[in-house]
A and B are shown apart, each in its own frame.
Chain A
Amino acid sequence: MTRAIRSELLKIRTTNTWWLMGLGMVLFTGLALLINGLNAHFELQPQTIDDDAPAEIREEMIREENERYSEVHSAAGIAKIAANMYTSGQFFGVLFIMILGGLIVTNEYFHQTATATFLTIPHRTKVIVAKLFAAVVLGFGGWLLTTVINLATTAAVFNYEHISMSLDRWDVHRTILLNLAAFAVWAILGVALGTLIRSQIGTVVTGCVVYLIGLAAAEVVFGLVHAYLIKEDWVITAEVIVPSIASMIMVTPGEMYPHAAPQWVGAAVLIGYALVAGVIGTLITRRRDIS
């Protein structure tokens, strides 16, 4: 098994795809850091209250602003900002990793290397398990890369803002670890998708559609169902069955939106998808004619 995994990792290392994707990830992470950093900066500033406002409203506004300010500057408030900074670039990073996971499989058919691979390791389940491992390693790499960039940048930003990096807090650790989970699970989903679809373009397009458009489409569909058909809150909770929503629920501390499913349900749904798709994909691959 270790041979199979080492071979899969060597396959990844000996082509350009991995570092092109890595470069893309770095760019998107930088962009996300810029936005998140600016957000943090303005959130941390005291807001000036309009002088022209009538006295009683003005008083109310000042009270609210003071409340907001002290909440943002509390240990928990700063931890929240820190956690957000540490997971910058997650949205596109995870997408890239899923595509890479898919390519690990579809490359074999696209470049007709499946023959050599299955001649060397005739037990196809072994090959797929090795690919899953390699994908998880890639996911870990993507997470490590973005997290290191995020930590370094956040250190500079927070030093400038004179606030704590909050690296001693469990809720911050948890968010960083859940980010890793997202990278790993989507890498696995990518491999599973590749085994199911086999076509290079088909896998990339399906992956992107599920990940990007699935999110918006699900919100519209579930919103309409809730508004006109079943006016119950569980409909909104059920949005978690959409993979990209499950992923966001999993990584968002607390309730992502009113009536959202708990975090662990998001994780369970994603793992469920990865398992089902992986098992079906493996069964198909075992029976498939390679020609």
Chain B
Amino acid sequence: MIIFLLPRRTEGGWTYTSTVGVALHRDGRPNMSDGQIVVDGLVKHYRQVRAVDGLRFVVRSGKVTGFLGPNGAGKTTTLRMILNLVRPTAGMATIGGVRYPDLRDPIHTVGAVLEASSAHRGRTARNHLRVISTAAGLPASRADEVLELVGLAPAARRKFKGYSLGMRQRLGIATAMLGDPTTLILDEPANGLDPEGIRWMRNFLKGLAAEGKTVFVSSHLLSEMELLADEVIIIAAGRLVTQGPMEQIIKSSTAQTTVRVRTPQADTLTLSLKELGGSVTAGDTGALLVTGLEPPAVGAAALRAGVELHELVAEQPDLEQVFLQLTEGKAVIR
């Protein structure tokens, strides 16, 4: 076990914070080479708000991790602190065990697509990418490669001011892919994309994760996350609410499975279901909504009561419900 004592400047002067070394993650994997993100006690205070309030989590490689939270939860601030764009009030973040400014080749390690990140209106997309390639010591041909990758090659020599929102998002991804990084960080990448663009983005990011890269995507669009993310980290009001694999988060929630049944003998079935301890409410168009009983139990009860069933559907609580339930009361927009 390695424990570092880090001198750190805080509002009241110097304090020493112990930081558990990167060598001991719960699963004991070495993490020097892969691009996993470790957020360790990040805090950011603005004048009136505690935008981020002691966040601690790990984003693993080879998966798409969703970073969820209502507006104002502190997602953007957290991502910007990971990338050394915003100075944390306390805490620190590492990528592959290294702080962002200490990375030898930052854009070869991390690619980022952030909000409030743009290109000069009068510059062409290709020149925008060449400016960044030059700064990173990459050949100019790399600009053409990434433009091809995101499907912007035909518009490469057009000025940025003529770009649609979707094209701008694609250029953002092209920029992030310049250094062929092992870690990708995206802030609300689905914003402004049409359904086709969103599908493209989803497949693109899943493909990158399948290659073993770390993909960390923030969003408040929960339905989109449900299709994209393998893992989720949910925050509200700058604090961690929960984290874990997508299905587990949905299952472990107290939001119950609802079974929808349809039968011509509704009264008989309601009676026998209530005897078994289920609660039954009338749904739309004559269906019954049963909670407190699993679907097989409902089916068995119907068989025993000799009722004819026209429909029996288990409705899983989706992330949307889970999310609202978890962040309830904390989700006030700050």
Contacts and interface: CB of A to CB of B under 8 A. Distances in A.
Interface of A: 3-4, 6-7, 10-11, 14-17, 107, 111-113, 115-123, 287, 289-291
B122 A16 contact: yes
Secondary structure call for the B interface: mixed
Contacts of A289: 80, 85-87
Contact of A287 (B87, B112, B120): B87
Given A122-B84, A289-B85, A290-B86, A116 B175 contact: yes
A291 B119 contact: no
B120 A119 contact: no
Contacts of A122: 84, 100-101, 103, 106
Given A120-B135, A289-B87, A291-B80, A15 B120 contact: yes
Nearest to A123: B101
Given A14-B124, A15-B123, A112-B118, A119 B130 contact: no
14 contacts: A3-B136, A7-B131, A10-B127, A112-B117, A112-B118, A113-B117, A113-B118, A119-B107, A120-B106, A121-B135, A122-B101, A289-B80, A289-B85, A290-B80
Nearest to B179: A120
B132 interface: yes
B291 interface: no
B134 A107 contact: no
Interface string B107-139: 100101010111111111001101110111100
Given A3-B137, A290-B86, A120 B132 contact: yes
B94 interface: no
Nearest to B120: A111
Given A116-B175, A291-B80, A4 B127 contact: no
Interface in B159-177: 175
A237 B131 CA distance: 46
Nearest to B112: A119
A194 B250 CA distance: 50
B135 A107 contact: no
A133 to B, nearest CB: 13
A112 B120 CA distance: 8
A117 B133 CA distance: 11
A14 B131 contact: yes
B103 to A, nearest CB: 7
A19 to B, nearest CB: 12
Nearest to B175: A116
A130 to B, nearest CB: 9
Contacts of A107: 120
Given A115-B114, A120-B135, A122-B101, 19 more contacts: A3-B134, A6-B134, A7-B131, A10-B131, A10-B134, A11-B123, A14-B120, A14-B123, A15-B123, A17-B122, A117-B135, A119-B112, A120-B106, A121-B106, A122-B84, A289-B85, A289-B87, A291-B77, A291-B116
Contact of A113 (B84, B119, B130, B136): B119
B89 to A, nearest CB: 11
Max chain B C-beta neighbours (<10 A), residue from A6, A115, A123: A115
A118 B131 CA distance: 13
